[in-house]
Structure 1
Amino acid sequence: MKILNDLDSFSKTDTVVTIGTFDGVHIGHQKIIKRLINTAKENQLNSVILTFFPHPRMVLQKDANIKLINTIDERSQILEALGLDCLYIKEFTHEFSRLSSHDFVKQILIDRLHAKKVIIGYDHRFGRNRNADINDLRNFGKQLHFKVEEISSEDVDDVSVSSTKIRSALLDGNIKKANKYLGYNFMITGTVVKGKELGRQIDFPTANITVEEDYKLIPKQGSYVVSAVIENQLVYGMMNIGTNPTVDGKKETIEVHFFNLNKNLYHQKIQVRLLHRIRDEQKFESVEALKLQLAKDEAASLQYITSQNE
């Protein structure tokens, strides 16, 4: 899959295009993307997604602190796995938001992306002040010689899922619901950094993960069963998101104790998948009480992993 941030290097290959932020690339999005890819193959075209970053709400609205399900790199990774030919990541700016609907279609979809077909949701809006809809797009199609395929309300509503629902599930700690809507296990990608090494002192060494992207949504604090692929090996572990109140921690951290893994992970970039929530974070009377609870968490985690792999 080609990933482009500008269109100077885009080939003159004819394309079928869909447009959207696709945060989460959830099962509803995947339905649209699979249609896009299949249509491209049937018509010997290249499949292209035009997505925007930063998220338009970060730029145009007061809730610039919106948290996203995926980082832009995670989103790219998921789209590549689906078989997309090209992802064009258009920088979303105030200036771009003022582009008229006609200029957007002519300058980007036709002149640069060479769209022969656009697949779009029935409720999609675009152009300055989002004042154009699918009917306008059909009119542009007649003028500029491209086809428009509508994703009907029935198709969209057939999967009653949205990025907003998934964000809410993650913030509630309902990883089971979030993963069901996503169609894959929610991921956190970050770099392993040196921590206080308290875990090592109580026989539960942890990899402390720092997420560089401040817009990445971090789920509700607590303990989770997780998996990761490290040096081509699938490993499992348990992760804590929280402030470590037992030792008077203040800052939220993400720490993973991997089972049966004895490797120096410092400075490595790893991706952790959340499989199951164990419990809320809590403050224990002593470090020894915390150690006893971690042993129980490990047993519960291993039991869960076994049950899922049977």
Structure 2
Amino acid sequence: MKVFNSIDDFTPGNGTVVTLGTFDGVHTGHRKIIERLMQSAGAGLETLLLTFFPHPRVVLQEGSDIRLLNTMAEKCELLQQTGLDNLVIHPFDKNFSRLTAEEFVRDILVAKFNIRKIIIGHDHRFGRNRTADINDLIGFGETYDFEVEQISSLEINDISISSTKIRNALISGEIALANQYLGYDYFFSGTVVKGRQLGRQLGYPTANLYISDDYKLIPAIGIYVVSSFIDGQKVYGMMSIGTNPTVGGTSQTIEVNYFDFEKDLYDREITVSVLCKIRDEEKFGTIEMLQHKLREDKEFSLSYIGNRKSES
């Protein structure tokens, strides 16, 4: 897959089959659209997905604090797996948002992409103030000689899977539902930094993660079963997202206790996949009560992991 950081960087060949959108999460609904895109690209046509950064809502809605399912690097990684020919990541700003629907079609889809066909989701709207819809696009297709194919909500797993629904599931701790919609285990990456080393004192040493992309959505505060690939090895563990109230913590941290793993991870970037929520964060009366609960958490995690392995 070739990646272009601007519409102007792309040079069309014989023609393209295009889809566009933020594609946050690259979830199962998105992949249905991409599959159709791939199926439509015959006779020497190239597939092209146009997406934007930053997210349009951040630019157009002042004070928006939207958290995204993917960083751009993660989105590229997920899209790479689909077999797309071209990914165009265009900087979204207010000037771009002011393009009329016809200017967007004529000056970008036709002039820049040499479009032969566009495939869009059932609810796609575009152009200044998002005033144009599928009917307008069909009209433009007749004028500028390209085909328009719309994918209905029924074709996308019989439900309208949306990135918003997945975000809400993660925020409320419904990991199984979020992962079902995504079609993969939700993940995020961070750099291991030195913490207060309280986990080590409790008998559960942790890797403390710093997430540099502040727009990346982090699941709800709580305790989770997780996995990571470290040095080519799949390692399981349990993760705490919270303030560690039992030991007087005040700021939120992300800490992972890996099972049967003792390598030094400081300053390394690791990716954590979230498999299951164990429980909410709690404040215990004593350190001993906390340690007892951590033992229960580990027993739950090992049982969950064993069942997951047997099902795979």
TM range (shorter): over 0.9
Shift of 1:153: 4.2
Percent identical residues = 53
| Distance in 1 (alpha carbons) for counterparts of 2:32 and 2:40 | 12
How is 1:19-34 mapped onto 2 (pairs within 5 angstroms)? 19-34=20-35
Partners of 1:268 and 1:207 in 2: how far apart? Answer: 10
Amino acid at match of 1:34: E
**Retained in 1: the 8 A contact 2:226–2:238?**
yes
Q: Is the 8 A contact 2:243 2:249 kept in 1?
A: yes
- Comparing 148-157 with 57-66, greater Cα deviation is found at 148-157
Structure 2: segments with no counterpart, 5+ residues: none
**1:286 Cα offset (Å):** 2.2
Specify the code of the residue in structure 1 equivalent to 2:39: N
Where does 1:128-139 land on structure 2 (aligned, <5 Å)? 128-139=128-139
Query: Partners in 2 of 1:43 and 1:283 — Cα distance?
Result: 63
Q: 1:230–1:149: structure 2 CA closer, same or farther, 3 Å change rule?
A: same
Q: CA deviation at 1:143?
A: 2.3
Secondary structure in 2 matching 1:158: coil
User: Superposed, which structure 2 residues align to 1:19-58 within 5 Å?
Assistant: 19-40=20-41, 42-58=42-58
Moved more, 71-80 or 225-234: 71-80
Question: What is the CA distance between 1:97 and its match in structure 2?
Answer: 0.4
Match of 1:127 in 2: 127
Which residues of 2 match residues 224-235 of structure 1 at below 5 A?
Answer: 224-235=224-235
The residue type paired with residue 243 of structure 1 is T
Counterpart amino acid of residue 241 in structure 2: I
Contact 1:57 1:63 in 2 (8 A): no
1:16 alignment partner AA: V
Task: Describe the superposition over 1:109-159 as per-residue Cα deviations: whole angstroms up to 9, x where unpaired.
Answer: 122222211101233111111121222222222222221112134324723
Q: CA separation in 2, counterparts of 1:245 and 1:12?
A: 57
Superposed counterparts of 1:70-89, under 5 Å: 70-89=70-89
2:242 matches 1:242: yes
1:230 CA displacement = 0.9
Distance across 2 between alignment mates of 1:9 and 1:57: 24
Partner residue, 1:64: 64
Look up the match of 1:222.
222
Partner Cα separation in structure 1 for residue 56 and residue 10 of structure 2? 24
Report the residue type matching 2:140 in the other structure: F
Distance 1:11 1:255 in 2: 45
Within 5 Å, which residues of 2 pair with 1:165-204? 165-204=165-204
- Give 1:77 shift: 1.2
| Shift, 1:160, TM fit | 3.5
- Relative to the length of structure 1, the TM-score reads 0.95
Change (3 A) 1:204 1:84: same
1:17 aligned onto 2:22: no
**Backbone CA RMSD of aligned residues:** 1.5
Contact 2:7/2:89, CA 8 A, preserved across alignment: no
Partner of 1:274: 274
SS class of match (2:81): helix
Asked if 2 retains the 8 angstrom alpha-carbon contact of 1:27 and 1:159, the reply is: no
Deviation at 1:222, TM superposition (A): 0.6
Which string of whole-angstrom CA distances, capped at 9 and with x for unpartnered residues, describes residues 246-292 of structure 1?
11111111100111111111121111100011111111122232222
CA distance in 2 between counterparts of 1:19 and 1:102 reads 16
> Can you give the 5+ residue segments of structure 1 that lack an aligned partner in the other structure?
none
* Alpha-carbon displacement from aligned partner over 1:20-68 (angstroms, at most 9, x marks no partner): 111111111111111112222x343221111111111111124510111
**Counterpart Cα distance in 1 of 2:10 and 2:79:** 18
Match of residue 109 from structure 1 = 109
**2-structure distance, mates of 1:269, 1:245:** 27
Structure 2 CA distance, aligned partners of 1:18 and 1:240? 38
Q: In 1, distance between residues paired with 2:39 and 2:193?
A: 42
Whichever residue aligns with residue 36 of structure 1, its letter is L
Larger displacement relative to structure 2 (140-149 or 86-95):
140-149
Alpha-carbon distance in structure 1 between the residues aligned to 2:3 and 2:110: 19
CA 1:81–1:95 in 2, change beyond 3 Å: closer, same or farther? same
Query: What SS is found at the alignment partner of 1:18?
Result: strand
Number of aligned residue pairs: 309
